Amino acid sequence: MTFEVPRGDGYVEVDLPDCDVTIAELPGGEPVDVREAAEEAVANPHGPPLVERASADDEVAIVVTDVTRDAPDGILVDVLFDELEAAGVDREQVTIVLGLGLHRPMDEAEIEAELGEYADLAENHDPDETVTLGEVNDVPIEIYRPVAEADLVLTTGQSEPHQYAGFSGGAKTVIIGAGGESFIKYTHGPDMLSQESVKLGKIDGNPFREAVEEAGELVGLDFCLNVTPGPDGFLDASAGDSGAVVRDLAETAREALAFEVDGEYDAVVSGVGAPKDAQLYQTTRGITYVVLSDGAPVKEGGRVVVPAVLDEGYGAGRGEERFYEWLSGAEDAESAYQAMLQGYEPGAQRGFVTVRSLRHADAYITNSEDPELVEECLMHAEESVEDAIEPGSDVLVVPKAPKTLLV
């Protein structure tokens, strides 16, 4: 059988004539025009309209997602500016904060590509330049100073399946994206991530999501505008109170992105694509979103195969460096997992869930520009997907793993 899997901005064609292949076809939905959907969401928000929450003399911070996400932040920011202008807020009163978390800073070209005419208002988050606003679960909530000192805090982004938060977006973009190391260490540490209720697709009763939303209330997140992606394009937008926005969009996403797994497979071919497959850190989502899903489609000792570009190596941020140090310094997945259970620095959590997955199945990264890096990090490198799969295998293909809920 011949099929295509994302790699970078394009696809690789795969031919597995000797295998029994199942494609994870998603229910999907009709893509919307993002601007029209965002304008409608802002006009019909959860809670008071933005124009009623804003004052003409407010200093405003808008926290947006970074280059590792593919949210249409530029369009969403433009829609928010229309509302701010109606409230009497001038452009000069607005700062746009790139919610990096512990990822690398974005360069001028990336900022221009994301924000267009608003690029001059943007600045990269610095996790070392924070203000402590209080505590959640005895953990200090540190927020980037321009956000902490703003009169009005807004956020844009997307709500999609997330390994820890259930779904991304909402308060997470502010609390993690523009936050300090203390809360990131707490929410992304082994004690939190080992809990059964911290999982992909779960919101209510998820202690990670609950902690993030409590922190959002403490910070004073005033208004959220998010979209949710489908298999192709975006399916809906929602605005207003952040918790309600995430739950609203999660309902849409669950209907569009769920695939019911029937049995276990010898191998799963997992697509990631741009922008995430530029670096190994983000590429491993193609492994963990499969192995640690509710559907658990990979047999014990099976294989997860992910085509990726890896033109940025393992990534350039503080978190990516810690991820690399753990994986490249380990003898095997089991010893790394046991060591990481004792604790690790924030950012290394992607290493933790990766080795947790590798205890169950082997991972193969194919078609990459950095096979040596892959081999350094407890995974296997092959030139093609075909080379990574044994003849006669029972194979599941998940073309867009980060946007799929395997149930």
Compute the distance between CA of residue 181 and CA of residue 188 in angstroms, rounded to an integer. 10
Q: Which structure tokens are listed for 31?
A: 């893509």
Domains of the chain: which residue ranges?
Answer: 2-26+260-406, 34-256
Q: What is the pLDDT of residues 297-344, one digit of tens each?
A: 999 999 999 999 999 999 999 999 999 999 999 999 999 999 999 999
CATH number of 34-256: 3.40.50.11440
What is the pLDDT of the chain when averaged over all its residues? Answer: 97
**Mean pLDDT confidence for 273-281:** 97
Instruction: Write the CATH number of the domain with boundaries 2-26+260-406.
Output: 3.90.226.30
Mean pLDDT, residues 78-100 taken together: 98
Instruction: Tell whether the torsion through CA atoms of 187, 140, 130 and 116 is positive or negative.
Output: positive
Which residue, among 347, 334, 348, has the nearest Cα to 378 in the 3D structure? 334
pLDDT per residue as tens digits for the range 34-72: 999 999 999 999 999 999 999 999 999 999 999 988 999
User: Which residues neighbour 137 within 8 Å (Cβ) at sequence distance 6 or greater?
Assistant: 186, 211
| Integer Cα distance of 328 and 72 in angstroms | 34
Q: What mean pLDDT comes out for the span 196-209?
A: 96
Tens digits of per-residue pLDDT, 98-153? 999 999 999 999 999 999 999 999 999 999 999 999 999 999 999 999 999 999 99
Tell me the C-alpha distance between 105 and 406, whole Å: 32
Residue 203's pLDDT band, with cuts at 50, 70 and 90, is: very high
